[in-house]
Structure 1
Amino acid sequence: MGYEAIIFDLDNTLLNFELCERQAILGALENCAVSLDLNGVSETNFIQVFETYNSQYWKQRETFSPRDLIEMSYQSTLAQLDIQTDQISNLGESYWHIFNHFAVMEPDVNEVLTVLARNYRLAVITNGFISAQLPRMQAAGIEHFFEEVVVSEAIGFAKPSPEIFHYALSRLNLTPTEVLYVGDSLKHDYAGATQVNIDFCYYNRKNQNLPPEAKPKFIISELLNLLELIN
């Protein structure tokens, strides 16, 4: 196949976003002494409501800072669940600290990156904020594996925009045929990579059925499978 570099998505490919987010949501509540038990609210219910608001507010990320968006999510969630607290600002700050300094990795990430780094140049393309993505990689202890980390906020384009892929290729001084891109999202990763003719490996971490129009070059259910494909 002749790949020179392997480029990875970050969230839900190398880092488990759902577990990182859950850790931050609940950890901030604990740090700020907001008890769900005393208010008769389950952790699952709180997280579901929080994530609903957060996904709505996150669409305004060009207007508000990450911390503002998190505070807005807590404020709306607490109001809906009728939980009283004067810790909204502290909740946002605590969430952001936990989210950026504690990482939960997908299975076998260190082993896979260690093996791949012997024969391939490695890079990351990720949507998100510089203030979050880089510290999270450092918290996971994986930043040293990567020659380039391209964050959407830094360049003004987000996946699936072809511009972010072209930018990464230019930084690596490679052509599309020399790169394999690995990611978990058909909407952002697959769509973006195929627009610029980069071979795509779909990390199907939840073993979901693919729509008939989706035809990635490779499909893996575990990251370890990647080593069998290209080594």
Structure 2
Amino acid sequence: MSQRQPRSFDWVLFDADETLFHFDAFAGLKRLFARFEVDFDTAHYEEYQQLNKPLWLAYQDGRISAKTLQEQRFTLWGERLGVAPGELNSGFLQAMADICAPLPQVPELLESLKGRYRLGIITNGFTELQRIRLERTGFAEHFELLVISEEVGLAKPDKAIFDHALDAMGNPARERVLMVGDTLSSDIQGGLNAGLHTCWYNPGAKTNDSGIAPHFEVRCYAELQAFLAS
């Protein structure tokens, strides 16, 4: 585990997608479009991502709403199939909930933190997926706080979504809150913007050439579990 100076924490906040849960969008889209007898392949997926990725950036920058993102990413497929984009989006989120799975070591990590830290989630994901997934995995009982960007009209890395979360947490000392996430540009930059300590979950050992400097970095949750137990 690479780190700066270790600190003591009262709260540990997590991102959701690819931090707590595996998020296989391609598998979810294949499952969705199979209902319409479409053999969704990698070329289709690349086409989808050409729309989806810029929309996510616009959403994180506060330039479009969650509703706009969810509908516009399915505009082309809606036209092809004669189906409302919102209906396709809902079907996709349902498919993702059906195939959801925790990432390795997450159940063990959460169990080890029970009663020792107060836990929360701040996610840019959408309500229709996030809440049902937490219930199905049994993880909901571990978290006192669930902040979903769609519900509050703010998205990471905006400091305001963290301020909203901290208000709901009773405004603990920010230096005693640790934000854990897989995405430097939203999770880590957002945590830094809010004055929190940050931990980059980097299981793929990606090179960080972003200029964003997390306080800590882990390659697996056994490392984080050991660190928080010390």
TM-score normalised by length of structure 1: 0.82
Q: Which amino acid aligns with 1:224?
A: A
Decide which moves more: 58-67 or 173-182: 58-67
Q: Which amino acid aligns with 1:131?
A: E
Cα pair 1:28 1:94 within 8 Å, conserved: yes
Aligned partner of 2:44 in structure 1 is: 46
Q: Which has the higher contact order (CA 8 A, sep 6+)?
A: 2
Amino acid at match of 2:42: T
Instruction: Tell me: CA distance 1:57–1:157, structure 2 relative to 1, closer, same or farther (3 Å).
Output: closer
User: Where does residue 16 of structure 1 map in the other structure?
Assistant: 22
Change (3 A) 1:105 1:22: farther
- 1:185-200 alignment runs, 5 A limit: 185-200=183-198
Quick one: which of 6, 17, 23 aligns to 2:12? 6
**Cα separation, 2, equivalents of 1:139 and 1:207:** 30
Per-residue CA deviations over 1:127-169 (Å, capped at 9, x if unaligned) read 1332332223223331221000011122222111111112212
Q: Distance in 1 between matches of 2:180 and 2:66?
A: 30
CA contact (8 A) 2:93 2:128 kept: no
For residues 186-205 of structure 1, what are the alpha-carbon distances to aligned partners after superposition, in whole Å with 9 as ceiling and x for unaligned?
11111111122211111112
Please name the residue that 1:35 is paired with.
39
Instruction: Report the equivalent of 2:167.
Output: 170
> Which aligned pairs between 1:45-194 and structure 2 lie closer than 5 A?
45-58=43-56, 59=58, 62=65, 64=67, 68-75=71-78, 85=81, 91-173=88-170, 174-194=172-192
Pair 1:67–1:184, CA change in 2 (3 A): closer
The Cα shift of 1:72 comes to 1.3
Shift of the alpha carbon at 1:172?
1.5
Residues 117 and 30 of structure 1, relative CA distance in 2, 3 Å threshold: same
Aligned partner of 1:81 in structure 2 is: none
Structure with bigger gyration radius: 1
RMSD: 2.5
Q: 1:86 to 1:172 in 2, by over 3 A?
A: closer
> Take 1:212 and 1:27, find their aligned partners in 2: how far apart are those partners?
34
Amino acid at match of 1:139: R
> Separation in 2 of the partners of 1:94 and 1:164?
27
CA-CA distance at 1:70 after TM superposition: 4.7
Q: Deviations over 1:174-230 (max 9, x none)?
A: 110221110111111111111222111111122111127332211101122101111
Query: In structure 2, do the counterparts of structure 1 residues 73 and 112 end up closer, same or farther at CA, with 3 Å as the change threshold?
Result: farther
How far apart, in 2, do the equivalents of 1:91 and 1:7 lie?
31
In the alignment, the residues of structure 1 paired with residue 130 and residue 91 of structure 2 have an alpha-carbon distance, to the nearest angstrom, of 17
Aligned residues: 216
Deviation at 1:106, TM superposition (A): 1.5
